[in-house]
Amino acid sequence: MENRSDTSAWRKFIASFGYAFEGIWYGLRTQRNLRIHVVIAGIAVLLSFLLRLSLAEFALILLTIALVIAAELVNTSIECCIDLVSPEHHPLAKRAKDSAAGAVLVCALLAVIIGCLLFGPRLWNLMIQQRVF
């Protein structure tokens, strides 16, 4: 027979997934940049299949997508916390928000570089074969 505390712990564990999905949904509803990242991620996944990336290359694409989306969600949470504790303009609040946005930018630039390294040569070869140039 299952202990009551085990059942309660299991329910809390399951509920934590619900809270996480609520956070993702909030980000998608309210953050234009997150929606842009998700669209670009979809294009990257589609290109991965069309260009027949290896399993390791596809894993790198997925890891990069997760990094950018996670950074955007952390940025959103930082902005929400800053707005809660400092609704008026404050130089330190601005620094915190700018730094969080900078972290997202670093991740997004890395994603672009990885995308160019993985997709670039294949797309170039495809254009050469199709005599685009």
* Whole-Å CA distances, 41 to 22, 29, 54, 131: 20, 17, 17, 28
Question: Is 72 part of the annotated catalytic residue set?
Answer: yes
| Dist. CA 77–CA 108, nearest whole Å | 18
Q: Determine which one of 2, 22, 57, 72 is catalytic.
A: 72
Annotated binding site for a divalent metal cation: 79
Provide the annotated binding site for ATP: 19, 79, 88-90, 97-98
Q: List the binding residues.
A: 19, 72, 79, 88-90, 97-98
d(CA 119, CA 107): 18
Catalytic sites, residue numbers: 72
